[in-house]
Amino acid sequence: MDALTKMIRIEIVIPGRDAPSVRELITAAGATGYTAVSGVSGLGHHGPHSGALLFNEYDTLTMLITVLPPEKALALIGAVRQLLEDGPGVMFVADTYVSRPEYFA
């Protein structure tokens, strides 16, 4: 682990129709990129979600994953918390380690 650099990994699961707002926050926070997984299935406070639908990407759940340096992550975490305060969606934050920190700075 010594050769790796510590970063913050943020995962956000939200309805597909709310994903543009979160993508906008991620970009505005200075993240150099993100991964989007549409059609996420599971069970939550609003009941079960079937996952990917053949002809509907709008009404499924999307998971957005981004990795940032800690100094940029705090602002994003605060903004996403604010966004999710009383709506559907969850956020997971964890430490992570990357081999090429310049990719995420």
Partner 1 sequence: MSLEIRAAVARATRTVIPSWPLSSFIAVNPLGGHESEDFDRAAATRPRDAFLADYDTGRITDPDLIAAVLQRVPELAGAGNVVIGNRVWAAAELVAAELVHADHQGMPPSSTPAPDLVDELVSKWVAAYLDPHPLWEMPDRDQGLWAAWMAMARYDPHLPKAARRRLRDLPRTPDEGLAQALDRLGVHGSETELVLRLESHKLPGWVAHIKWRSDHVGDIDVTSYLAVRITLRWALGLPLPRSVAEPTTERATVWARAAVLIPMLSEDPASSDTHVRVARILGLHPPQLHAVTWQSAYEEHYREQLVTALRTTAPTTSNPSVQVVMCIDPRSEGMRRHLEDDPDIETYGFAGFFGVPIRFTSYQARGSIDALPALLAAHHSVTETTNNVHHARRRASALRVRDAFAAGLHASETVPAAPFALAETLGWFSGATTLLRTFWPGSTPFIGRLLHQTTPAMATEVTIDTAFTLDERAGLAETGIRMMGLDRQAPLIILAGHGSTSTNNLYQSALDCGACGGNPGAANARAAAAIFNDPEVRRILSSRGLPIPDTTFFVAAEHNTVSDRIDILDSQLIPDSHTTSVTFFLETQTTAADRLVTERAAQLPGATRHSLTRLRQRANDWAEVYPELGLAGNAAMIIGPREMTLGVNLQRRVFLHSYRPECDLDGSALETIMTAPLVVAQWINHQYYFSTVDQNCWGAGTKTIHNAIGTIGVLSGHTGDLRRGLPLQSVAIGNRDLHEPMRLSVLIQAPLDRIGTIISRNQVLRHLFDNNWITLTARNDADSTWYRYSTYGWIPEPHLDVTTQGD
Chain positions contacting partner 1, by CB under 8 A: 15, 18, 20-22, 24-25, 28-29, 46-50, 53-59, 75-76, 78-80, 82-83, 85, 87
Least distance from C-beta 11 to partner 1, angstroms? 17
Burial of 105 (0-12, 13-18, 19+ CB in 10 A): middle
Alpha-carbon distance 105 to 84, whole Å? 25
Minimum CB separation from partner 1 for residue 29, in Å?
Answer: 6
**If we measure between CA atoms, which residue out of 49, 53, 80 comes closest to residue 65?**
80
Q: Write down the least CB distance from residue 92 to partner 1, Å.
A: 18
Identity of the residue, 7 or 89, whose beta carbon is nearer to partner 1 in the bound complex: 89
Taking phi over 0 as left and psi of -120 to 50 as alpha, with beta for the rest, 20 belongs to alpha
Whichever of 21 and 35 has its CB closer to partner 1, that residue is: 21
CB closer to partner 1 out of 6 and 81: 81
C-beta of residue 4 within 8 angstroms of C-beta of residue 75: no
